[in-house]
Amino acid sequence: VTKETYLGVDVSRYSYNELIEQTQEDIKENKKSFIVAINPEKILKAQEDPALLQLLNKATYQIPDGVGVLLASKLNGGAIKERITGIDMFLALCEQASKSEQSVFLYGAKPGVAEKAKETLLAKYPNLNVAGVLDGYEKDEEKVIRTINEAKPDILFVALGSPGQENWIVDNMDRLDVRIFQGVGGSFDVLSG
């Protein structure tokens, strides 16, 4: 068993290293996977919003962001090993990508922010291949899809806020030539500031 469930919401039991291993296998096998960060606020919101509950459970990997999830696991005899924040997972994937010649794409946040986040990432991981960046206010949906598909990234980070970014990923996964999708909320803002 690789997941446990809190109030109907699945949460992955994988550690960072296991998750990185899993995503590497997914890339090798050409499988598409989708990472969502789960915290107690999202679990509570999902109680009143069945569509949100469904959406969160559609992800391949629900990472235990927020100590509340880790605590719930401990109190319930669960097996979640460590807290995995969305931004730390994002950075871990970038580090792995820089070692594996995989490319990443940053989509979302206000104009200029993803570009700055890219500079921060390149300072940390000089070998990282950033296939492209695009702000989250481009209204032409077809242009967004085309831009990402032309860049052909292995990993796509989507920073449109939650649950907008998760809905966007689920709606567009099939037509995107991308292997790993992660919704990263305000992470580009954090890296750019």
Could you say whether residue 40 binds ligand UDP (CB under 6 A)? no
Q: What are phi and psi of 133, to 5 degrees?
A: -135, 155
Closer CB to ligand UDP, residue 22 or residue 182?
Answer: 182
User: Closest distance between ligand UDP and the C-beta of residue 154, in Å?
Assistant: 22
Ranked by CB distance to ligand UDP, the top (closest) residue is 136
Closer CB to ligand UDP, residue 27 or residue 134?
Answer: 134
Name the 3-class secondary structure at 157. Answer: strand
105 - beta bridge partners?
A: 132, 156
Could you say whether residue 136 binds ligand UDP (CB under 6 A)? yes
Burial code (b: 16+ CB inside 10 Å, e: under 16) for 4-42 equals bebeebbbbbbeeeebbebbbebbeeeebbbbbbbbbeb
Q: Of the candidates 12, 184, 25, which has an alpha carbon nearest to the alpha carbon of residue 91?
A: 184
CB 87 within 8 A of CB 34: no
Closer CB to ligand UDP, residue 78 or residue 185?
Answer: 185
Choose, by CB under 6 A, the member of 19, 102, 185, 191 that binds ligand UDP. Answer: 185
Residue showing tokens 């037509």: 175
Q: Can you say whether the dihedral through the CA atoms of 178, 182, 185, 186 is positive or negative?
A: negative
Choose, by CB under 6 A, the member of 45, 83, 189, 192 that binds ligand UDP. Answer: 189
Could you say whether residue 62 binds ligand UDP (CB under 6 A)? no
Site residues for ligand UDP, window 72-111 (CB under 6 A)? 108-110
DSSP string for 51-67? HHHHHHHHSSEEEE-SH
Could you say whether residue 49 binds ligand UDP (CB under 6 A)? no
User: Closest distance between ligand UDP and the C-beta of residue 58, in Å?
Assistant: 17
Choose, by CB under 6 A, the member of 24, 81, 161, 170 that binds ligand UDP. Answer: 161
Could you say whether residue 26 binds ligand UDP (CB under 6 A)? no
Instruction: Give me the residues that bind ligand UDP (CB under 6 A), please.
Output: 108-110, 136-137, 159-162, 185-186, 188-189
